[in-house]
Chains A and B, each alone.
Chain A
Amino acid sequence: DAGITQSPRHKVTETGTPVTLRCHQTENHRYMYWYRQDPGHGLRLIHYSYGVKDTDKGEVSDGYSVSRSKTEDFLLTLESATSSQTSVYFCAINMGQGQKSYTFGSGTRLTVV
């Protein structure tokens, strides 16, 4: 087990409020990713990080920001939540050393009402 945890597991929030999701890993892996899963779209990359303070946008980054001030934590923030951001959010880490598969967290189910 790669030791990746997401919090919270479930959250309901109101439109227009800020929301922060946390991803925590215990093994100091360099690469971390945030994906969202929606029916008919599979998993889509929101943002990713390749080191402390090094982040980049994915294919669906609008409305999201990220921060990585420590190797072990990767935060995803919805500055002003909208109903279209209702989704299941997954964090993933890449083990590095040529490993090309990810290990995923258990997900955060976010509902924006």
Chain B
Amino acid sequence: DQQVKQNSPSLSVQEGRISILNCDYTNSMFDYFLWYKKYPAEGPTFLISISSIKDKNEDGRFTVFLNKSAKHLSLHIVPSQPGDSAVYFCAASVETSGSRLTFGEGTQLTVNP
């Protein structure tokens, strides 16, 4: 039972354009959401997060949007840069879970120069 799903295994965009990565979840108890970025042969690194009491969080070129009614979140990267090429994982947690994170399958983003 995949509680966090990223339905697009890959996404390709041109440098300078917007990248939109999507994530859906099924567990209504999730109250905190995160995005991680992963380069080959490295561990995932934290990118941005959002609490369920918000619908948007912005950090430089990265913005995460949360639609609780649709159980959907998205990560926007504007403008996209070749260095953004990586695998992006969506993750979710429940406040009382001891900070256990449930991850999606990941989306490979390729930004073409």
Residue ranges of A at the interface with B (Cβ–Cβ < 8 Å): 31, 33, 35, 40-45, 48, 50, 58, 90, 92, 94, 100-107
In the complex, per-residue mask of B88-113: 1 if CB is within 8 Å of any chain A CB, else 0? 01010100001111111110000000
For A101, the chain B residues whose CB sits under 8 A away are 34, 46, 49
Residue ranges of B at the interface with A (Cβ–Cβ < 8 Å): 4, 6, 9, 32, 34, 41-46, 49, 89, 91, 93, 98-106
Interface of A is mostly: strand
Contact B42 A107 (CB under 8 A): yes
Contact B98 A50 (CB under 8 A): yes
Contact A104 B41 (CB under 8 A): no
Complex CA–CA separation, A18 to B89 (angstroms)? 31
Among B32, B41, B102, B103, which residue has its beta carbon within 8 angstroms of that of A107?
B41
Contact flag A100-B105 (CB < 8 Å), given A42-B89, A45-B100: no
Contact A104 B34 (CB under 8 A): no
